[in-house]
Amino acid sequence: MLLESKCVIVTGAGGGIGEAIARVCSREGALVVVVDIREAEAARVAASLGPNALAVAADVRRDGDLERAAEAAVQRFGRIDGLVNNAGVDFSKPFLETTPSDWDRVINTNLRSCFFLSQIVIRRMLAQTPSGGSVVNISSVHSIAGVPGAAPYDVSKAGMAGLARALAVEFAARGIRVNSVSPGLIDTQIWRDLQAAAPDLEACLAYWRSNIPIERVIDPREIGELTAFLLSDRASCITGANLIADGGMTARLLSTAQV
């Protein structure tokens, strides 16, 4: 197993991509700390993973909650070997209508929490014996390309990828690897909401198939598999990378026009 007996914290693990990451890590032998603002959902996922999982209800915008999540991991499992910064919020609003509170909500949830939880966890990774570990930031294709009306989200995801590079360089010699994963369109609630809002479902599906070279949305489990690999010793030479997991969407020079 890739992660046997390694303690991994996953934020936003009460559903969606985070839950899928937690499940793959558990399958690969990890001791998983399921962190989510929704206490019931965190408990549900942890209970389904069995005795080697711990649920922690936490709002990643609160520094005290970040400290508490890391402390809970150490108290239960003795150390922290991996961190997945996955918790985040989506955003869509025209730039000229975006308010300071909009900006703060997105940046504090997606990027600030990633910075300070990484700081908390890396301190512990350096102090433990043996020292070291792996951090994975779940960014987005918005880290390399943008769409109108998503400026705070684009900034937050580009920041997560940039943070991974900065920390990778700073801590590589001390046994800590830091990478980011940038998913494309994933089969989560956002995709289901997009379909529900479409005036013509078949046209919506056809449009997205035409703009994703593999002609399908990505299963959250696929992001879990990639993340588990990056957390594992098999990825021992990979640090500072931003792995694009979008089915080829951003590799295409031009999008196919909707018809």
pLDDT in tens, the chain (259 residues): 999 999 999 999 999 999 999 999 999 999 999 999 999 999 999 999 999 999 999 999 999 999 999 999 999 999 999 999 999 999 989 999 999 999 999 999 999 999 999 999 999 999 999 999 999 999 999 999 888 989 999 999 999 999 999 999 999 999 999 999 999 999 887 778 878 878 888 888 888 888 899 999 999 999 999 999 999 999 999 999 999 999 999 998 877 655 4
Task: Identify whether 168 is part of a domain.
Answer: yes
Distance CA 93, CA 57 (A): 29
Per the omega criterion (within 30 degrees of 0), is the bond before 199 cis?
no
Distance CA 164, CA 181 (A): 10
| pTM summary value | 0.94
Distance CA 174, CA 63 (A): 25
Q: What is the pLDDT of residue 259?
A: 40
Place of tokens 């959902």: 41
Distance CA 143, CA 182 (A): 7
Contact 22, 13 (CB under 8 A): yes
Q: What is the pLDDT of residue 128?
A: 97
Task: Identify whether 85 is part of a domain.
Answer: yes
Task: Identify whether 78 is part of a domain.
Answer: yes
- Work out the number of other CB atoms within 10 angstroms of the CB of residue 59: 15
Task: Identify whether 193 is part of a domain.
Answer: no
Place of tokens 């919020």: 89
Closest C-alpha to 210, from 245, 244, 259, 243:
259
Q: What is the pLDDT of residue 37?
A: 97
Place of tokens 């013509």: 200
Task: Identify whether 30 is part of a domain.
Answer: yes
Q: What is the pLDDT of residue 240?
A: 98
The count of residues in the chain is 259
Amino acid, single-letter form, for residue 111 = L
Closest C-alpha to 167, from 72, 85, 106, 78:
85
Domain containing residue 37:
7-186+218-251
CA dihedral 196, 198, 204, 207 (to 10 degrees): -130
Q: Which of 77, 91, 153, 208 does the annotation list as catalytic?
A: 153
Task: Identify whether 212 is part of a domain.
Answer: no
* Catalytic residue status for 207: no
Contact 78, 52 (CB under 8 A): no
Task: Identify whether 129 is part of a domain.
Answer: yes
Which CATH number belongs to the domain containing residue 155 in this structure? 3.40.50.720
DSSP-derived secondary structure letter, 55: E
Domain count along the chain: 1
pLDDT digits (tens, 9 = 90+) for 6-52: 999 999 999 999 999 999 999 999 999 999 999 999 999 999 999 99
Amino acid, single-letter form, for residue 240 = G
Task: Identify whether 206 is part of a domain.
Answer: no
